[in-house]
Amino acid sequence: MPKATLDEVFQRMKANLKSRQFSELAVTEEKHECNECKDKGIIVYRIHKSTEERMKNEGKRFDLAAHEMVREEDFLAGKVCSPQEAKEWKTTFSRQCPCVAERAAQKTQMQLMSASNISERFKKMTFSSFKTAGKPQVIQEMRECAFEYAKAFQDIKNTDENSIALLGQSGVGKNPPSISCS
């Protein structure tokens, strides 16, 4: 059996990919939480051999700008180069999708909320749902204090003065502004 040329292999890959795309669309349109990585957690890229050579000469290790790399799916779909040029795009690498960190943060937040034993009623509290109309002045001041704290938190979180305490008798209304901050 004669060996297939690179062009023939590339054309078969391209045809196979296109037929899979059409058959997947015909069956059902896939839904993903993350459209960037299709819920895989990584994004695979290809780089041109000239970019790879430049990186080696500069001693860099895949520290690339967006214009120096192409997505693997675009390469396989024939959007990047002709079949004759495909061998110049053989190097692949992957990066973790930003959704992985976002999911981890959401999971941590859910675990913290679960461990906090805060009731469902309180979990739904936000600054916009915390109404102060008709409430005593001290409640309005607590809400305003908590709101200002939440706005400034990113700037003060790494300083010594990064805490807030809302004090008062039981039932006075400390929980709503405290939980709104979280």
Q: Is 54 inside any structural domain?
A: yes
Query: Domains in the chain: how many in total?
Result: 2
| Helix, strand, coil in percent for the chain, rounding step 5 | 55, 10, 40
Q: Is 3 inside any structural domain?
A: no
Give the tens place of pLDDT for each residue, 69-118.
899 989 888 888 888 888 888 888 889 999 999 999 999 988 887 888 87
Q: What's the domain range around 109?
A: 32-117
> How far is it, in rounded angstroms, from Cα 181 to Cα 127?
8
Residues 112, 72 within the same domain: yes
At 22 the pLDDT is: 56
Could you tell me the two tokens for 55? Answer: 């990186």
Residues 132, 179 within the same domain: yes
Residues of the chain scoring pLDDT < 50: 27
Q: If you search the block for the tokens 């349109």, which residue do you land on?
A: 29
Q: Is 26 inside any structural domain?
A: no
At 108 the pLDDT is: 92
The DSSP letter of residue 2 is: P
Residues 82, 124 within the same domain: no
Q: Is 82 inside any structural domain?
A: yes
Residues 67, 50 within the same domain: yes
Q: Is 20 inside any structural domain?
A: no
Write down the H helix ranges in 30-91. Answer: 49-58, 72-76
